[in-house]
A and B are shown apart, each in its own frame.
Chain A
Amino acid sequence: MLALAPLVFPTYGMTLLTEALILGVFAMSLDLTVGYTRLISFGHAAAYGFGAYACGWLLLHTPLPMVAAIPLAALLAGVVAIGVAWVCTQATGVSFSMLTLAFAQLLYAVAYKWTSVTGGSDGLAGIPRRPGPLGLHVFVSRNGFYYLVLIVLFGAFLFCRALVRSPFGAVLRGIRDNEAKTLALGYNTRGYKIAVVALSYGLGALAGALYAPFAGFANTELLFWLLSGQVLIMVIVGGAGTLIGPILGAVFFLTVEHQLSNYTEAWGLFFGLIFIAFVIFAPEGIWGLIRARFVRRSAVEPEFRRGVARAR
């Protein structure tokens, strides 16, 4: 259905949808830690910004085509993230969140000061969508780029779904529900946490790496804590721990932002109210509402989960 979107939407709508799907990849990557492992990262913008800067730099300073620069930037971020994850998982709970935030702010400061590489406060501008060999120039046009994003989103979704259904994913849910018990069963929970945080950052950077050639620039805003908060909101409003939910959350967020900002500069205020309403009335998020409406079995599940949460 999404593949037919270019036939229906006007050009501006396509730009908006492309950005929404890029943010969808970004929000889904955060769901791996927030929804499936209950590791609340408050510095996920670090992944997005890093991916965007790395991809932008590669496209500006090397002859690599876009389709090579994007995965390379994500891979680079994933490798760097292993070290970051190693440090952050020393802590748990709020301290973990604060450490992820600290790393994001550190990266923000670096991007701001290291002018020779990052362009400082101007950022990197004029990032080209360099076509590759073998007819890969199809991804260069507006609609072509949309399809590239759609392919990446679909691939990332399949990857994440396989991950959360795998033995590895089962251990993540164990850590989420009862980490001490998971440890006592003989699982090296720290190792699993480092792995999932690094994967999550790598995928988040993949989204950022798409954004750089999409927008044609990368600036420090992509590393700012505001974006970390926004992506967390997308995950929660969409439905944490569902993978699909965060994608819907990202689309919803961008649509509402776009519509509200037509009427008022204080759109953030109204979105805040929407967010509060979701947390109170629909803690399972948009995807939870959809499932409750259309799938009878899952309608019982959230109620049960809340029951268990209360009993605990």
Chain B
Amino acid sequence: MALLELDELTRRFGGLVAVDHVSMRVEEGEVRAVIGPNGAGKSTLFNLITGVLKPTQGSVRFAGESVTGLPTPRICQRGIARTFQLTALFPQMTARENVRLASQAREAGRWQFWSGAAVFASAGCRADLALERLGLTAIAERPAGLLSHGDQRLLEVAMALAQEPRLLLLDEPTQGLSVEETAQAVETLAGLLAESGMTVLLVEHDMEVVFRLAHRITVLHRGAVIADGPPEAVRQDAEVQKAYLGGFA
């Protein structure tokens, strides 16, 4: 059974069709990349899946149940974690506090308003694990706002991981990174994904990153799916080349 199913998902902003009848099935354990030029509707797609935007038409099913139109926290609580295209952190908290707050969202005691030693211990334990997996242990006690941009991007992934999601949405994880930082981040991510077998939906501009990480690629152009298949097939697709890849392949 597919973990995530999008059926004829559509979102209009006035006259603009940002996402145009997109249907897609992401299988359990799959790393799926969504690529497309600027304005192709990739981020809007993420916002539709996580309920930040309501679809004009169509439906989103997660783990066999419809989540269309549910509020964001309810959808995320079912096991979806996301990172943002523009780094979204709590800059005044330490790296560890950031991850712990993310992990706390999966605790039954997250509403507890008296001493939460047990909640903090359990959430902190998962936070430490996530920090370690992304090689951030050394900077765990530093305020997130003072970390390098590369570490901030990884910290956001650590926050998502600490939630132990069934589906991880990564919105341009290497956005704004230097060539070396990108290479390093991709290796970290590749190792992580291979090890965890997590289901991932990845939006990315950098083709090298996509071909390194993805099992399957969906190409969006002006909100609509124009190609869908394994990396090699997509690379050779004539329409994709015309729309997007240019001289790359």
Residues of chain A having any CB pair with chain B under 8 Å: 162-163, 165-171, 173-174, 177-178, 180-189, 192, 195, 304-305, 307-308, 311-312
Contacts and interface: CB of A to CB of B under 8 A. Distances in A.
- Give the interface centre of B72, B82, B100 by most chain A CB atoms within 10 Å: B72
A174 B101 contact: yes
Contacts of B77: 186
B112 A171 contact: no
Contacts of B82: 184
Given A177-B91, A178-B90, A308-B146, 10 more contacts: A162-B114, A163-B114, A167-B109, A167-B110, A168-B110, A170-B101, A171-B110, A174-B101, A177-B93, A308-B143
Contacts of A165: 115
B163 interface: yes
A184 B171 CA distance: 13
B101 A185 contact: yes
B198 interface: no
A173 B112 contact: no
A166 B113 contact: yes
B39 interface: no
Contacts, number: 99
A183 B71 CA distance: 10
30 contacts: A162-B113, A162-B114, A163-B113, A165-B115, A166-B115, A167-B107, A167-B110, A167-B113, A167-B116, A167-B119, A168-B110, A168-B112, A168-B116, A170-B97, A170-B100, A173-B92, A178-B88, A181-B84, A182-B101, A183-B73, A184-B52, A184-B82, A185-B101, A185-B159, A185-B163, A186-B72, A308-B91, A308-B145, A311-B145, A312-B91
A57 to B, nearest CB: 30
B229 to A, nearest CB: 30
B62 interface: no
A129 B105 CA distance: 46
- Give the interface centre of B52, B73, B120 by most chain A CB atoms within 10 Å: B73
B152 to A, nearest CB: 11
B35 interface: no
B50 interface: yes
A186 B115 contact: no
Closest 7 CB pairs of A and B: A186-B76, A308-B145, A168-B113, A167-B116, A177-B90, A181-B88, A186-B105
Nearest to A168: B113
Interface in B84-129: 84, 88-93, 97, 100-102, 104-107, 109-116, 119-120, 123
- Give the interface centre of B92, B106, B109 by most chain A CB atoms within 10 Å: B92
A182 B52 CA distance: 13
A183 B112 contact: no
B112 A187 contact: no
A166 B112 contact: yes
A173 B93 contact: yes
Contact of B111 (A168, A180, A184): A168
A282 to B, nearest CB: 19
A111 B145 CA distance: 47
A178 B89 contact: yes
Contact of B116 (A166, A177, A178, A188): A166
A167 B91 contact: no
A110 to B, nearest CB: 31
Nearest to A183: B72
A29 to B, nearest CB: 15
Contact of B92 (A171, A183, A189, A308): A308
